[in-house]
Structure 1
Amino acid sequence: MTGPIDELLGELTLSEKVSLMGGRDLWSVQPVERLGIPSLKVTDGPNGARGTGLLGTGIPSLCIPSGTALGATWNPELVEELGGVLAAETRARGCHVLLAPTVNLHRTPLGGRNFECMSEDPYLTGRIAVGYIRGVQAGGVATTVKHFVANDSEFERTTISSEIDERTLREVSMRPFQMAVEDGGTWGVMASYNRVNGTYTAENRWMLDTVLRGEWGFDGIVISDWFGARSTAASAMAGLDLEMPGPPRWYGSRLVEAVEAGDVPESVVDAAVRRLLVLAERTRTFDEPHDREEQQLDEPAHRLLARRASTEAMVLLKNDGILPLAVDRLASLAVIGPNAATAMIMGGGSAALVAQHETSLLDALTARMGSQLEIRYEPGVVTDRTARPLGGHTTERSDGGRG
């Protein structure tokens, strides 16, 4: 870095400052080459670091247990260790910011992103998130706690207005975020798509400025969810520092015009850019080659830690003397269910990645016991949107005839 942040800020033109508040592309922020300001690069989480690949593609990555599984460990110290692994994975992708953890709550079993979230309990979620944040940021990678706030409904997720009284909002929905800021010291927060009591979160000044920065003392950046910004002046005045992805739709030239028209004071832009430069300093972005090439890690120690976390996450709901399996007393074993034959280790969407290592339950049982007993598999009930035709043993009579 060529000098203190304020000195660097003073050398930037208005256009350059505004350019730093918008994305260059899907996963990086505009650089200012003239002053040696590099591009911050971000990557999706929370159960790995995908890099610049689109949903479910990219360089193979370590896949740690999902957020719900991490919550089931009740072990913030273990999650902090996993955070260190995620920092190394993120660095290997040439990135500085991990878009994680997700600390929304399980408010309904129909939530499509529930697997990313830790639990239905604000305190447990906050404790696990604090461990996650400390581990990641100790490795020089910023966390971006998401999605602030009350983005728990699958119905009209990107536009719905979550109508919540202030006490419930603070004690339930906001509580994990408050812990992430005050106890975890997160360097980033992602504004959610939805509205809260009629106002989109990315332009909600009470939430982003009064509560987040004023009451909780947050000193990091606020980033929009992808295409989640809805306005220019209202978002800037509320405290939205970074519109993603790029090229910007609401910032960019529109924000320059808003400043020149007096709708947004330039001091607001300066404050946002200062926070972005501080983030670049915290993540050592100035100290490394710009736009580093993505690389794959495959560390045995990381795999062992992920395996240990998986075992701690397992919850046995019922056991009528069946487990552990007594192989010497069994002639055959029925394995039923579509997820037995498929390694369902993650959900889809922005959390999906190409896992380096995965083993299905059926493959594991076959490898361990296949030489000692007969293992028969049936998909059973499939919960796809469209029903599949019955076949095989499903329609077979007890005497072996066709059903």
Structure 2
Amino acid sequence: MTATTPSVADDLDSLIATLSLERKVELLTGHTTFTMTPEPSIGLGEIALSDGPTGVRGLKFTGGRQVSLFPNATLLASAWSEETAELVGGLLAEEAMTQHIHVVLGPTINLHRSLLGGRLFEAYSEDPLLTGKIAAAYVRGLQRRGIGACLKHLVANESETLRNSMNSRLDETTLRELYLLPFEIAVTESQPWSIMAAYNDVNGVAATEQDHVQNGIVKGEWKFDGLIMSDWFATKTAGPAANGGLDLVMPGPDGPWGAVLAAAVRAGEVAESVIDDHLRRILVLARRVGALGEPRDFPAHLPTPDSPIRRAQLTRLAADGMTVLTNNGVLPLADTTSVALIGRHAVETIDMGGGSAQVNPPYQVSAAQGLRELLGDRVTVTDGVEVRHRPVAARPGFVVNPLTGEPGAHVTLTDENGGTLIEYDRPTIMVGLDDDLPRPAARAEFRAKITADGPVEIGVMGIARWEVTAGGEHFSVTVKATSTDPGEAVLRPPAHTITMQAAGELEIVAVADLRPEPGGGAGHELLSFGLLSLIARPAPLPLDTALATAVEAARQADLAVVVVGLTEEQETESVDKTTLALPGDQDALVSAVAAAARRTVVVVNAATPVLMPWLDQVDAVLWAGLPGQEGGHAIAAALTGLIEPAGRLVTTFPTADAATPAWNVTPVEGTVAYTEGTFIGYRGHAAGHAPAPLFWLGHGLGYSTWEYSDVTLTATTPPTLRATVTNTGGRDSREVVQVYFQPEEADQPVRLVGWTAVLVTAGARATVEITADARMWRRWDSTADRWSTLSGRGRLLLARGLGDIRATIEL
């Protein structure tokens, strides 16, 4: 799509002129939770928005239609492929068109500053160039199909702790050279149709009110002609936000603008021309997505989430990004190998992170299912140690709807007078947000049945007054909010459980009273808003029993595969991590298995780095990310070599907690100070600001070996390198050739300046040429308040990550 032409702008101005001030302002706030306000008199239809980092969820936060669950952002980015990112954008456009969605709220292009960040799984990388180039390709893939993209979250939004009120403090150089750079690359290379302003403050000013960033840089310097919307509930003011460049407040229909903003215009605080510019940008978006004038046609007969083509696409995307961290010749698995597959993540593979990135997939394939399908009875499966600290909602399958006998539960919502509002067949529901009920729900009744012998964990999740009956057990509990963050009720609802003995069939009835207590205190206003879930699962085994069972399984097999990782407790919106250590006793599990097994492979089912105290005890480590609905099939394909796991790390793995250039995510007196400046990740490690890491950004072994030769500099402005790469292994393979620049200036970090990927058959060679990105030779001159150019002197490093430099050229 091209930028708005003068004739188009004139046409939109004539439409705007027909509206009253009050109606203009109304159009600047959302219509519902995930739609924008229509205006039939000017041909403006309702624009539908959907969360989209790992799938297009649709207009429901939970319980919506079944959609494809894609691999998470770090796993997709690990392909180091703009072609892959553009393909993903196109596939997500298909998912959007199936649901008549106009704008997908992604990609997330904040950087991996501190590895404690809970939402890093949604973001691509610690490197701004890699992030920006992948984001630009993703945007192109979406928008060439007529579906708008939305870059998020503008800006310096790298942590979740107190995210609604915290202040990110950073200097202009760091802001420009690092955190704004991915947005700049995506805006200039792919012209995204919208951007989302973040929750946090930046240098004391709310992101939604950032005149300097939104008006001065994005709309001014970059000539961005799209729309800037708020993150949901992020807007705090009327006049300052409107003057600061924010165009749209989400969600609707309520918010801080409306009559307050109209009054600000009449009082002269906000010029009506500012309102007109905001509305013009909404109309430009509407025209681009087909919601202005004649409504667009959405194609029919697109692939369904469980179609063979989608299954194949999602398996390939996940396996391509998986990364071989170490390998003593044990991978890929030999055909004759008997395998003991061990670990909770093997039987309950985590395929997506928590929060707004979650979708409702048709199925999720576990590693156990995937490997059994390939290797049959050569695989034994053993559950491992407990991996969670918090209870988890019941999974359909373990709980059964007692009315139908089908997996799930029976839930009835009733109003104040006992009238039925709606019935569901799943053990988790949302109330008070996009539930489309005619009246508020006052009561929710959950009914489910389980069949089990032994200890089971039974309970409820969600802010309400509960009465629970399970067999002969009964308990009453009031589950209250633990913080003032309204997101808690949706993203991390509190819970209450008991452990009881089951012997056969057991029916569970849980009733939630959602009405505020008369004269209730703080937190009770949230009682009718949030997620409600039934909890039912086998109680965790004692540690000694779990370890002994795993060790015995490992002894009986030729090889043990231990699947460990994180869950949505650590990798989620609204919560940051406190450590990079694996939760529970997973480290003890790996060590015990490695001591007993002939050979041991560890699969890490996590989107972000974890500590590996057992690394020297095992024979191979495969980093599998959060692999989406086909995760188990992709893990099996990668382990067996059906698909080469040729990924390269997008984040540097440290050796220990805090052994990183940037660590703290907890505000001190309300502020997180970015004191490390531009030296995050590999940049800081290379400069000695943190110990040498365990694995560098760009590291990945694949299933072959490589030689580099004939390295020459073929151009200097910008620098261009040519090299020959030879596949010296016995398998066809993919290599990612990386170029870094180490400036001579002492205050400048080493930085990635370019890369390319090449497929080479076994024993063959290929010539590659990499042109460095000229933007990586800029520096921000804070004194002159403008860009200047580095001297150009320094070293170019041709590498497979900074831990494996193959050639150096002096500039």
In 2, the alpha carbon distance for the partners of 1:179 and 1:396 equals 52
* Superposition misfits of 4+ residues, deviation over 3 angstroms: 289-293, 295-303, 385-389, 395-400
CA apart distance, 1:358: 2.6
One-letter amino acid of the counterpart of residue 542, structure 2? L
In 2, the alpha carbon distance for the partners of 1:150 and 1:4 equals 37
Q: Which one scores higher on RCO, CA 8 angstroms, separation ≥ 6?
A: 1
Which residue of 2 is the match for residue 53 of structure 1? 60
CA apart distance, 1:388: 4.8
One-letter amino acid of the counterpart of residue 110, structure 1? L
CA apart distance, 1:71: 1.3
Which residue of 2 is the match for residue 394 of structure 1? 547
Q: Secondary structure at the match of 2:232?
A: coil
Q: Secondary structure at the match of 1:288?
A: coil
| Deviations 1:290-339, CA, capped at 9 Å, x for gaps | 9999x983454343332222121110111222222224243xx2223222
Please tell me whether the aligned partners of residues 62 and 356 of structure 1 are also in contact (alpha carbons under 8 angstroms): yes
Please tell me whether the aligned partners of residues 59 and 296 of structure 1 are also in contact (alpha carbons under 8 angstroms): no
TM-score (norm 2): 0.46
CA apart distance, 1:178: 0.7
Please tell me whether the aligned partners of residues 42 and 96 of structure 1 are also in contact (alpha carbons under 8 angstroms): yes
In 1, the alpha carbon distance for the partners of 2:336 and 2:312 equals 29
Please tell me whether the aligned partners of residues 226 and 244 of structure 1 are also in contact (alpha carbons under 8 angstroms): yes
**Equivalence map 1:76-87=2 (5 Å):** 76-87=82-93
CA apart distance, 1:253: 1.1
Which residue of 1 is the match for residue 143 of structure 2? 137
CA apart distance, 1:70: 1.6
In 2, the alpha carbon distance for the partners of 1:285 and 1:216 equals 26
Q: Secondary structure at the match of 1:307?
A: helix
In 2, the alpha carbon distance for the partners of 1:43 and 1:376 equals 38
Which residue of 1 is the match for residue 318 of structure 2? 310
Which residue of 2 is the match for residue 18 of structure 1? 25
In 2, the alpha carbon distance for the partners of 1:76 and 1:49 equals 20
Please tell me whether the aligned partners of residues 239 and 264 of structure 2 are also in contact (alpha carbons under 8 angstroms): yes
| Deviations 1:62-97, CA, capped at 9 Å, x for gaps | 122211012101001121011111112112212111
In 1, the alpha carbon distance for the partners of 2:551 and 2:161 equals 45
**Equivalence map 1:322-361=2 (5 Å):** 322-330=330-338, 333-361=339-367
- 1:319 and 2:327 matched: yes
**Equivalence map 1:3-402=2 (5 Å):** 4-55=11-62, 57-286=63-292, 287-288=294-295, 297-298=304-305, 299-330=307-338, 333-371=339-377, 373-380=378-385, 382-385=387-390, 388-390=540-542, 392-395=545-548
TM-score (norm 1): 0.91
Please tell me whether the aligned partners of residues 90 and 141 of structure 1 are also in contact (alpha carbons under 8 angstroms): yes
Which has more helix, going by share of residues? 1
One-letter amino acid of the counterpart of residue 174, structure 2? T
Q: 1:10 to 1:290 in 2, by over 3 A?
A: farther
In 1, the alpha carbon distance for the partners of 2:303 and 2:360 equals 11
One-letter amino acid of the counterpart of residue 16, structure 2? L
Q: Secondary structure at the match of 2:190?
A: coil
Q: Where does structure 2 lack aligned partners over 5 or more consecutive residues?
A: 1-7, 392-538, 554-811
Q: Secondary structure at the match of 2:17?
A: helix
One-letter amino acid of the counterpart of residue 130, structure 1? A
Query: Considering only aligned residues, what root-mean-square deviation do their CA atoms show, in Å?
Result: 2.5
Q: 1:328 to 1:349 in 2, by over 3 A?
A: same
Please tell me whether the aligned partners of residues 72 and 352 of structure 2 are also in contact (alpha carbons under 8 angstroms): yes
CA apart distance, 1:50: 0.5
Please tell me whether the aligned partners of residues 85 and 134 of structure 2 are also in contact (alpha carbons under 8 angstroms): yes
One-letter amino acid of the counterpart of residue 320, structure 2? E
One-letter amino acid of the counterpart of residue 86, structure 1? L
In 2, the alpha carbon distance for the partners of 1:234 and 1:329 equals 65
Q: 1:357 to 1:79 in 2, by over 3 A?
A: farther
Which has more strand, going by share of residues? 2
One-letter amino acid of the counterpart of residue 16, structure 1? R
In 1, the alpha carbon distance for the partners of 2:253 and 2:297 equals 19
In 2, the alpha carbon distance for the partners of 1:290 and 1:34 equals 21
Please tell me whether the aligned partners of residues 83 and 134 of structure 1 are also in contact (alpha carbons under 8 angstroms): yes
In 2, the alpha carbon distance for the partners of 1:396 and 1:309 equals 34
In 2, the alpha carbon distance for the partners of 1:46 and 1:375 equals 34
In 2, the alpha carbon distance for the partners of 1:105 and 1:374 equals 39
* Larger Rg, first or second structure (1 or 2): 2
In 1, the alpha carbon distance for the partners of 2:254 and 2:28 equals 9
Please tell me whether the aligned partners of residues 40 and 96 of structure 1 are also in contact (alpha carbons under 8 angstroms): yes
CA apart distance, 1:357: 4.2
Please tell me whether the aligned partners of residues 102 and 148 of structure 2 are also in contact (alpha carbons under 8 angstroms): yes
Q: 1:398 to 1:4 in 2, by over 3 A?
A: closer
